[in-house]
Structure 1
Amino acid sequence: MDIRGIDLNLLVILDAMARHRSVNRTAQAVGLSQPATSAALARLRLLFDDPLFVRAGAQMEPTPRAQALAPAVRRVIETVSTEILSPAAFDPATAQRSFTIVTPDIGEVSFLPGVLRRLRQEAPQVQLKAIARPREAAASALESGEADLAVGFFPDLQKAGFFQQNLFRTSYVCIACAKNEAAPARLTMRQFLEARHIVVLPNGREHLLDRFLADKGWRRHVTLELSHFMSLLALLPGTDLIATVPEDIATVVGRHVPLKTIELPFRPPRLDVQQFWHRRMQQDAAHKWLRGVFHAVNRREAGAPLPS
C-alpha cells in the first residue's frame, strides 16, 4: 500500500469510530455531516478490504482488523497533534541550548554582561557564544545558521530577508589618558587632524566615523591602527595618543583606566545600535525569547549611558 495514495484524514475518522462506535457521534466529534462520515467509512472499508465496524445492537462494534489498527492510529493522531500541529514551545528554565551572537568586542563588553545576569536567573543551562565577523560576513552567518543574532552597528543587514530592532542610538567621543597634559579640553580642527590618533577597525571594517571624516575630506594623523577596542586599556595610559570612539567604549575604558574627554571640533555622526536576525528565525519560539532578552536588557533611551 503506497502512502502517497492515502487520504490521511481518513485516519481521523477511523480513530473517532474506534472511540465513539457510532457514525452520528463520530460525525459530531470530527465536525462532518453524517453522510460525509458514512462516505469516509466506506472509503476506509475499501482501503483496508474489511468492514472495520459492524452494527451490533445500538452501536457499531470493531472487527478484529479495526481493533488491531486502533492503537497505532491513536498514536499517529496524538503524535501529529502534540508534536507537529502544536505551537513550538520554549521553556528557558529547562532549556539546554546554545545561541551564537555576532558582535564586535565592544558588543561583548556592552551587551553580554546584562544578558548573562538575566540568563543566570531565567535560563541557567542556556549557553552563549560571541563571534566576530567582518561586516559583509554577518549576513551569511545569519543566513547559514552559524549565528542566531547580530548585535551592534550592521548597516549591511538593513536589507530584504532580515529583521531588525532598535536598541539605542549613540555617538562618538574623543578620549585621552587623564595624565596627558598636552591634550586640551577642546580641540580645534587643526589640532584634531595633527594629533596622534589611535584608530580601531574591528575585523578590518571601516567605522561610521571613518566614512564621515573621509566624506568631509579630513585626514587624521593615524599613529596606531588596532583591531580591538579593548586594546585601548593598555595603549592609551601614559601616552599622548587620542582616540575617537563610540560612547560605550569610552565608558568601559574609563571604568578601568583614568581618562579625560576632549570636546571635538565638529558634531560627530550618530549611529543606531540594533539587533538583526534572518527571516527564517522570525517565528522560532526560542529565538523570540532570545531577542526579547537582548532587547529588554540593552534597550536604552537616546543619550542614556551604558549601565554599570
Structure 2
Amino acid sequence: MDIRSVDLNLLVVFDAMARLRSVNKTAEEIALSQSATSGALARLREVFDDPLFVRTASQMEPTPRALELAPVVHRVVQTIRSEILQQPGFDPARAERSFTILTPDIGEVAFLPGVLRRLRMEAPHVRLLAVSKPRAAAADALEKGEADLAVGFFPDLQKAGYFQQALFNSSYACIACARNASAASRMTLRQYLAAQHIVVRPDGREHLLDRHLDDKGWRRHVTLEISHFMSLVALLPGSDLIATVPQDIATAVGHLIALKHITLPFRMPRLQVQQYWHRRMQNDPANRWLRGLFYEVNRRDAGEQLRL
C-alpha cells in the first residue's frame, strides 16, 4: 500500500466507526452526511482489502483486521489532533528552557535586572543568555535562530524580515570623576574637543554620537578606547578623563562612583531603543511571551530615566 493513496480523513471515519459501531452515529460525530460516511467506509474497505465492519442485528461489528487496526489508528488520529492541529502554547511557570538575548553590556545593566525579578516570580525555570555581537552579525543570529531577541540600538535591523518594537527614547550624557578638577561642569566646544576622552565602542561598533560628531567635522582627543561601558567604573575615578555615554550608562555608573555631569554647548543625538525579532518568530508563543515581558519591564515614557 502506498501511503500517498491514503486520505487521512478516512482514518477519522475508521476511528469513529471502531468506537461507535454505527454509520449513523459516526456521521453525526464527524459532521458528514450518512451517504458520505458510507462512501468513506467503502473507500476504507478498498484501501485495506477487508470488510472492516460487518452489519449484524444490533450494530456494525469489526472484523479481526479492524480490531487489529483500531488502537493504532486511534493513536494516529489523537496525535494529529493534539500535537499537529492543536494551537501551540507556552506556560512560563512550567517552562524549562533558555532564551538568548542580543544586547551590549549597557543592555545587561539596564534591561536585565527587572526582567530577572519577573522571571523569579513567573518563570523560575527559564534561563537567559545575554550575548553581544557586532551589528552585522545580529541579523544573522536572529535569522538562524541562534538568538531569540535583540534589545538595544540596532539600526542594521531596521529592514525587511525583522519586526521591531520601541521601548523608549534616550540621549547621551557627558560624565567625569567628581574629583576631576580639569573638567568644568560646563564646557565650550573647544574645551570639549580638547579634553582627554575615553570612548566606548562595544565590539568596535560605531555609535550614533560618532556619526553626529563626524557630520559636524568635530574630532575629539581620544586618550583611551575600550569595549565595555562598565569598565568606566574602574577607569574614571582619579583620572582626568571624560566620557560621553548613553544616559542609562551614566545613571548606572553614577550608582557606583561619584560623578560630575558636564553640560555641553550642543544638542546630543537621540537614541531610539527597541527590541527586534525575526519574522519567523512572530507567532511563536514562547517568543511572544518573552518580548512581551521585556516590553512590560523596560518600556518608558518620554523623559523617564532608568531606575535601578
TM, length-normalised to structure 1: 0.98
Q: Which residue in the other structure is 1:253 paired with?
A: 253
- The 8 Å contact of residues 197 and 220 in structure 1, kept in 2 or not, is answered as yes
Question: What one-letter code is carried by the residue in structure 2 that aligns with 1:216?
Answer: K
Which residue of the partner structure matches residue 297 of structure 2? 297
Q: Specify the SS of the correspondent of 1:260.
A: strand
Structure 2 residues without counterparts, runs of 5 or longer: none
Q: Secondary structure at the match of 1:117?
A: helix
1:59 corresponding residue in structure 2: 59
Distance 2:181 2:289 in 1: 49
Residue 182 of structure 1 and its aligned partner are, at CA, apart by 2.4
* Displacement after TM superposition at 1:168 (Å): 0.8
For residues 235 and 197 of structure 2, the distance between their equivalents in structure 1, rounded to whole angstroms, comes to 11
Counterpart AA for 2:216: K
Q: What are the Cα deviations for residues 14-45 of structure 1, in whole angstroms up to 9, with x where unaligned?
A: 01111222212211211111111111110000
Write the distance in 2 (CA, Å) between the matches of 1:98 and 1:278.
17
Q: Distance in 2 between matches of 1:187 and 1:135?
A: 33
User: In structure 1, what residue type is equivalent to 2:49?
Assistant: D
Shift of 1:57: 1.7
Aligned residue in 2 for 1:179: 179
Q: What CA distance in whole angstroms lies between the structure 1 residues aligned with 2:57 and 2:304?
A: 78
Superposed CA deviations along residues 259-289 of structure 1, whole A, max 9, x for unmatched, are 0111111111101111111111111111111
1 CA distance for matches of 2:50 and 2:301?
70
Pairwise CA RMSD: 1.0
Deviations 1:204-253 (A, max 9, x none): 00000000111111111111111110110111111111111000000000
Q: Offset at 1:171?
A: 0.3
Is residue 173–residue 264 contact of structure 1 (8 Å, CA) maintained in 2? no
Residue 240, structure 1, aligned to residue 240, structure 2: yes
Q: Distance in 2 between matches of 1:241 and 1:182?
A: 9
One-letter amino acid of the counterpart of residue 273, structure 2: V
Contact 1:192 1:265 in 2 (8 A): no
SS of residue paired to 1:168: strand
Percent identical among aligned pairs is 71
Count of aligned pairs:
308
Per the alignment, in what secondary structure is the counterpart of residue 209 of structure 1? helix
Distance in structure 1 (CA, Å) of the matches to 2:37 and 2:300: 59
Displacement, 1:185?
Answer: 2.0
Tell me if 1:46 matches 2:8.
no
In structure 2, distance between residues paired with 1:254 and 1:18? 73
In 2, distance between residues paired with 1:37 and 1:164?
50
